[in-house]
Amino acid sequence: MLFLPITSQPPGGNRYAVEIPEMEKRRAGLDADISLWIIADEYNEDLCGESYYIEPNGKIGSFSKSFVKQVQGVMIQAIQAQRSRKVSRS
């Protein structure tokens, strides 16, 4: 499983990122009053059964399928440009 970071800091011009629309922030349970971006050129990797990131009873929101496809497209661009990197959080 791959996790992409979400940040309130505007990404630099050389980053592969997607601004999260207000409706998508609401769907995901994020703060709709601030600007948020998904950074698509870095990720964390995790195993589902051994995840430290997902709490068993935690609240998990979701994005629409069309928005996920948009983010996926930007991530593919980053990979093709050899600009994607794994960030270790351990």
d(CA 43, CA 23): 24
**Residue 59: Cβ within 10 Å count:** 6
pLDDT number for residue 41: 97
pLDDT tens figures, 4-53: 999 999 999 899 999 999 999 999 999 999 999 999 999 988 776 676 66
pLDDT of residue 64 exceeding 90, the answer is: yes
| Phi, then psi, of 17 in degrees rounded to 5 | -150, 160
pLDDT of residue 6: 95
